[in-house]
Amino acid sequence: MKAAALTAPERVDVIDVPEPACGPRDVVVRMLGVGLCGTDTAVVRGRRKTPQLPWVLGHEGVGEIVAVGESIRDRQVGQRVAVEPNYCCLSCDPCQAGFTSGCRKRNAVGLTTPGLLAERVAVPAAFAHPIADHVSLADLVCVEPLTVARAAVRRSGAREQQHCLVLGAGSQGLLLCQSLLEIGITPAVQEPHAGRRELAMSLGATVGDTHQEVDHVFETSGAPGALDAALERLRPGGHATVVGMNSAPLAVSSHAIVSQQWSITGSLIYDHPVDFADTIAALEKGALEPHRVLQARFHLDEAAEAFTAVAATPGKCWISFEG
Ligand SMILES: [Zn+2]
Ligand SMILES: [Zn+2]
C-alpha cells in the first residue's frame, strides 16, 4: 500500500509500505484525510528529527475502521474515526492525574511513531474516536488542531465577553479564533500576512491595531518577540497562553510579571480523552465550522507539492485519499 514519507532530508515521496498488523487492542483505519501543519513541515525541513528514514509523515488524520482487534468491543468496522495522535501511557503520575499532555512516555504520531499518511494505519482503539456520520469529512480533518486550540481556550479560563487578543492567524490562530467565537468572545487578531488577516475576518474576528487593554493574549505565531510586544496590552491580572514555540528567550522581566500580576502559561496539545471527546461533541452539535480554515486539498500522490504549499497557503492544506 502507498504512504507519503520523508525519504531524505527535505524530500517527500510516495512509497510502498507493508500493510499494518492489527494488535489485540488496535483498530486498523483506512485513512480518508490528513491535515498538514507546521509540525509536519518542521519534520520535512529537518528541524525535528525522525527516528529513521524513510519516515511516514502526518498526524492530523481521520478515516474509517476496517479491522478491529480481538480485545476491542466498543469499536466497529465501518465507523468513521478521528485519530488522537498522542498516545499517552495512561499509567505514569501525570496520566493518572488526568494531565496526559504531561505524560513522560508519550508517543507522538508522525514524530516518535510512524505517521498517518498511509492508506491504512493501525491505531490503539482508545485513540480512535468515533464521530457521527453527519459531520463532514472536511470538519473531521480539523479535529486534532481544533482540539489543540480548544484545550488552550479551556486552560486559559477565558469567559464570554472578555477581550482576547490572538497573535498569528496561521491555521492554529484561526482555529483558536473559532474556539473563542464558540464561547461568545470576538477575538482581535494581529497578523502581518494580508491573506491570513482576511481569512480571520471572514470567520468573525476583528483585525487592525487597537490599543485596547485585553484580558487574555493567545500567542500562536511562534514569532520571536511577538508575545513581549503584546504584553504591553495585557491588563493587570491578565493571562497569556502560549501555543506557538520558538527558542528565543522572552524579554519580560519578573518585575513586570509581579507588578502586573500576569499569568503566563504554556498550553501543549490536549488531555486524553476529555479534550477530543469535547471537540467531537461540539462538531456533532454543529457549534463551529472548522472546515472554513481548509484552503487547499491535495491527493496522496501530490504529497510533495502539498508539503511545499503549507508555508505559503493562508489557512490549512490537507491530503485526501479519495478521488
Ligand atoms: Zn498539527
Ligand atoms: Zn503517561
Question: Three cell numbers at 73?
Answer: 468491543
Distance 235 CA to ligand 1 centre (A): 31
Q: Domain spanning 149-266: which CATH class is it, in words?
A: alpha beta
Q: What percent of the chain has pLDDT over 70?
A: 99
Res 311 pLDDT > 90: no
Distance 116 CA to ligand 2 centre (A): 22
Res 312 pLDDT > 90: no
Distance 267 CA to ligand 2 centre (A): 17
Banded pLDDT at 322 (limits 50, 70, 90): confident
Least confident residue range of 19-33, 137-151, 162-176, 308-322 = 308-322
Res 183 pLDDT > 80: yes
Q: What percent of the chain has pLDDT over 90?
A: 97
290: amino acid identity, one letter: P
Kindly state the average pLDDT of the residues 8-14. Answer: 96
Ligand closest in space to the Cα of 91: 2
Q: List all residues 6 or more positions away from 207 whose beta carbon is below 8 Å from its beta carbon.
A: 169, 188, 189, 190, 191, 197, 200, 201
Kindly state the average pLDDT of the residues 217-231. Answer: 96
Q: Average pLDDT of the chain?
A: 96
CATH architecture for residues 2-130+289-320:
Alpha-Beta Complex (3.90)
Distance 242 CA to ligand 2 centre (A): 23
Give dist(CA 269, CA 125) in Å, integer.
19
Res 221 pLDDT > 90: yes
Distance 262 CA to ligand 1 centre (A): 29
pLDDT given at position 211: 82
- Spans of all domains in the chain: 2-130+289-320, 149-266
Distance 108 CA to ligand 1 centre (A): 11
Distance 96 CA to ligand 2 centre (A): 7
Distance 100 CA to ligand 2 centre (A): 6
Kindly state the average pLDDT of the residues 216-222. Answer: 97
pLDDT given at position 210: 74
Res 297 pLDDT > 80: yes
Ligand closest in space to the Cα of 89: 2
pLDDT given at position 24: 98
- Give the tens place of pLDDT for each residue, 247-279: 999 999 999 999 999 999 999 999 999 999 999
